Amino acid sequence: MPETAFGTSAQAADLLLEARDSTDTLLGDWAEHLESELGSRDGRALAYALRTPGKRVRAALVLGTYRSVGGRSPGIAGVAAAVETVHTYSLVHDDLPCMDDDDLRRGRPTAHRAFDVPTATRVGFLLVPVAARLLTVSTRELGLSSSTLGRMASELFQAGGIEGMVGGQWLDLEAEGRTLTLAELMAVHRGKTGALIRAACVLGGMAAEAEPHKLAGLMAYGEDIGLAFQIADDVLDATATSEELGKPVGRDAELSKSTYVALLGIEGARTEARRIAVKAVAHLDAAGIPSDALGSLAGYIVNRTS
Ligand code: GRG
């Protein structure tokens, strides 16, 4: 594995592999269970969405942050799957004709193409309580108190709501065809993408019952790495192929979206993503959190090709 400015990439590769395995297995089991529980076209569509295979970066961040502050239980996989389920809901709705109107996601037809728009709309909403159930079951398995569950749920669903993901997406949609300032664009990116990534990092810390200063360090890392992730996404939309991403490319330009690439150019955006990722890792060092695995993930996030 090559050395990068963020250390070796081997630790990120291992974490991502583990996150993919555990998340795909857990969500596959839930898909089967929910399909028979609902027993309808909605059940099949819900299972379809749960089974779409993503990179599982948010799950890897949950595992990595949990372990960085001493967590050791395999039960953390359920928390990771809960975060990925909120993310999947956002992708199902993001692809709808009233939003980005995309046909392909994760190399497969989007949920509304595989089924239909009303079904995909319902599936998006149905995924939110599935995430809540996953979080509840997993915190029980981790032996956490109901007040810790309450704090984790609040973190996750606040990040997924108007103060985070929904709010950021809303601003993003409103801004189509308009040129945002860098400060406005940063607010969009921190909301629509960064908030859930930050929550993944905070949830990992909360599940390990991290001390407050370490939790603050993980939150600061998550805040920066979430922004860096979306800047890298802007770069990939302008530079990667549809085969590499499993979704259409060049959509930002087609929809006249403000992006870091539009404002800073491709190289400028790459440099900015790397600068912010370095800053993210510095928060861990300042909080006394081992940064080998999380530094490696930061490197993956800004250097990835898909
Ligand atoms: C009601 C306004 C309103 C919004 C609903 C749709 C929505 C909520 C939010 C959209 C948030 C969104 C899709 C942000 C983009 C995040 C992003 C960069 C997704 C791609 O993540 P990857 O690369 O994808 O991790 P995989 O497929 O690997 O999981």
**92 CB near ligand 1 (under 6 Å):** no
Structure tokens at 99: 């939003």
Q: Indicate which residue's Cα is closest to atom 7 of ligand 1.
A: 90
Q: pLDDT in tens for each of the 306 residues of the chain?
A: 455 678 778 999 999 999 999 999 999 999 999 999 988 899 999 999 999 999 999 999 999 999 999 999 999 999 999 999 999 999 999 999 999 999 999 999 999 999 999 999 999 999 999 999 999 999 999 999 999 999 999 999 999 999 999 999 999 999 988 899 999 999 999 999 999 999 999 999 999 999 999 999 999 999 999 999 999 999 999 999 999 999 989 988 888 889 999 999 999 999 999 999 999 999 999 999 999 999 999 999 999 999
Q: Indicate which residue's Cα is closest to atom 17 of ligand 1.
A: 193
Q: pLDDT for 279-288, tens place per residue?
A: 999 999 999 9
Q: Closest Cα to residue 206, out of 166, 154, 157, 165?
A: 154
Q: Vertex 280, ends 163 and 271: CA angle to 5°?
A: 100
Between the CA of 141 and the centroid of ligand 1 the distance, in Å, is 28
**Torsion sign across C-alpha atoms 282, 279, 84, 122:** positive
Q: What is the pTM of this model?
A: 0.97
Pocket test for ligand 1, best of 108, 188, 193 (most atoms within 8 A of CB): 193
Between the CA of 288 and the centroid of ligand 1 the distance, in Å, is 31
**233 CB near ligand 1 (under 6 Å):** yes
Between the CA of 32 and the centroid of ligand 1 the distance, in Å, is 24
Q: Where are the domains of the chain?
A: 9-303
**85 CB near ligand 1 (under 6 Å):** no
**What is the DSSP track for 2-27?**
-EETTEESHHHHHHHHHHHHHHHHHH
Between the CA of 122 and the centroid of ligand 1 the distance, in Å, is 17
Helix (H, G, I), strand (E, B) or coil at 109: strand
* C-alpha span between 44 and 203 (Å, rounded): 30
Atom of ligand 1 at shortest distance to CA of 106?
27
Atom of ligand 1 at shortest distance to CA of 99?
6
Output the pLDDT for position 256: 85
Q: Indicate which residue's Cα is closest to atom 15 of ligand 1.
A: 193
**100 CB near ligand 1 (under 6 Å):** no
Between the CA of 128 and the centroid of ligand 1 the distance, in Å, is 14
Between the CA of 91 and the centroid of ligand 1 the distance, in Å, is 5
Pocket test for ligand 1, best of 24, 52, 83, 93 (most atoms within 8 A of CB): 93
Output the pLDDT for position 2: 54
Going by C-beta distance under 8 Å and a sequence separation of 6 or more, which residues neighbour residue 275? none
Domain boundaries 9-303, CATH class: mainly alpha
Output the pLDDT for position 3: 54
Helix (H, G, I), strand (E, B) or coil at 220: helix
Cα of first residue to Cα of last residue in the chain, in angstroms, is 18
* C-alpha span between 17 and 19 (Å, rounded): 5
